[in-house]
Every structure is written in C-alpha cells, then in structure tokens.
Amino acid sequence: MNGRASDHTHLPDDSNFAQAQSRPLVQDQPWLSNIQAHMRLLACLVLAVVILTLHHSLALLAALCLAMIIAVLAGLEAAQTMRRMASLEGFMILVVLFLPFTIEGDPLFSIAGVQASQQGLWRALILLVQSNVIMLLILSLPGKMEAGEIGQAMHRLYVPEKFIHLFLFTLRYIDVMRREYRRLRQAMQTRAFQMRFSMHSWKSVGYLFGMLMIKSLERSERILAAMLCRGFQGRMPLLIQKRPLSQTDLLFTAMTACCVLGLLTLELA
C-alpha cells in the first residue's frame, strides 16, 4: 500500500462525458413562445369570436384542425391537455344528451314520450366542437403565459386597469382561498363531520362558507394595507418594456388573418 489512489478513479467516463457535451444547455422553446403576449391574447379572442359564428360542418372541421395545429406549435403535452379538457367534456356530455329534447324539429327518436329532434342533436354537436376548439385555443395561446404576462398583455390592449387588477388578484388568490377551504374542511372531518341530508349538515356547510368569506375579507384588508405601505397608488408598474413588433409577430398576425378569412369563406360557401 503506497497511500496513493489509483489514477482511473479520477478520470471521467468518456461515454458519459460525450453525452453531456451533446445535450443542449437550453431546450428549444415552442414557436408560439416567440410571439408577444398581447398578440397571442388578441388572436385567441378574434379566433374564438369567429368560431362561435361557425355552423357549417366543413368550417367546424377546419377550425378543429387549426386548433390542433396551434396546440402543437404551443408545445402542449397530450396527457396534461386531455386532463384539463376532461372537466369540459363532462359538462358537454350533458349538453349533448339533453339539448336534442329541448329544440323542436324533425323527430329523431323518443324516450318516454319525449321526442329528440335532429336539429337539437346537430346544435349539440356544434356546441361540442366549438367548445373544444376554443378550449384548445385558450390552453395554447394565453394558457402558456404567466399571470403577470397576461396582465401586461391586457394593458397593451388598453383593457381598463381596474379590470386588470381584479383579474390578477382573482387569479392569484383563488388558490389561496382553495387551500383555506381545504384546511377548514379537514378541520371539520377531524371532528367526525359527515355530509348528510340533514339540517345539521346544511348548517355546518353554511358556517364553512361563512368562515371562508370572513377569512377572505380579513385577508383582503391585510393585502390592501401591505400594498399601501409599499406605496401602491392604484397603478401597477410595468415590469416589461414595450417592444416593437418583430417579423415573427407580423407573420403570426398575417397567419391569423388568413385563418380567419379561410374559416369565414368555408362558412359562407
């Protein structure tokens, strides 16, 4: 034993070193992330309004394909997107099931003497496609932004500042209220509370929401006091400087305009 460590224990593995050198330091960002936030927000609004006016099957199919392409350009993960849209699909299934019975038209079938119409079923399918397309657009365009980035985009679109403040505070503290609700509900469960169809259960639920409202009011007063101590005067400073539109932004605007004209052409054809 000469007390010296062997040389090969300090040498890195050549294969691991080569793999580390081949890995990119920064992952490639989706193409839509290069578009300015207010342009994406405006495009989402315009496309949503246009899609709500579509009723032709070919136009709706084109809109669905367009939403899928935008989702791919935004880099949405398929599994996460499907989980987010599952809540919408649960409501839309009820629409598809009940709407055919509420619109008069050519009879399709009847259940217990109540007739379902072809026009009602077609209207339900239109609403199903429109809602899914708009949901994909929201997840792809403004859904990839941070809360502050959405606020800056709304400011550049000349949205009233009070509405922006209300939107940002709601977006920020709705999760805080949800955690407070879970804490109060857990406290009720530790006291062996079980929800039943009884007056005691309804009173307990009323007390729960009453305490939640009181705590939210107290928190809002503390937040206002903290903001006033920091010099808040009704306006939030712009953290992102305005920059002129780039060629990518102009290209995105032109593509959006072409998509809008294409959808309207298919609808009117």
* 252 vs 92: CA distance, rounded Å: 31
Of all residues in the chain, what percent carry a pLDDT higher than 90?
19
- Top mean-pLDDT range of 150-159, 219-228, 257-266: 257-266
Is residue 148 pLDDT above 80, yes or no?
no
Q: Which residues of 233-247 are buried (b: 16+ CB within 10 A; e: fewer)?
A: eeebeeeeeeeeeee
* 100 vs 123: CA distance, rounded Å: 8
The confidence band for 240, taking pLDDT boundaries of 50, 70 and 90, is low
Residue 116 forms beta bridges with which residues?
Answer: 109
Host H or E run for residue 109: strand 107-111
Phi, psi of 261 (to 5 degrees): -65, -40
**Span 151-162, pLDDT tens digits:** 888 888 888 888
Question: What mean pLDDT, rounded, does the chain reach?
Answer: 81
Q: How far is CA 153 from CA 41, 71, 170, 218, in A?
A: 7, 20, 17, 30
Closest to 204 measured CA to CA, from 193, 213, 212, 214:
193
8 A C-beta contact, residue 25 and residue 133: no
- Top mean-pLDDT range of 212-221, 237-246, 248-257: 248-257
**Span 31-64, pLDDT tens digits:** 777 888 888 999 999 999 999 999 998 999 999 9
Q: How far is CA 226 from CA 95, 223, 229, in A?
A: 45, 5, 5
For residues 180-195, average pLDDT: 84
- Top mean-pLDDT range of 29-33, 43-47, 76-80, 188-192: 43-47
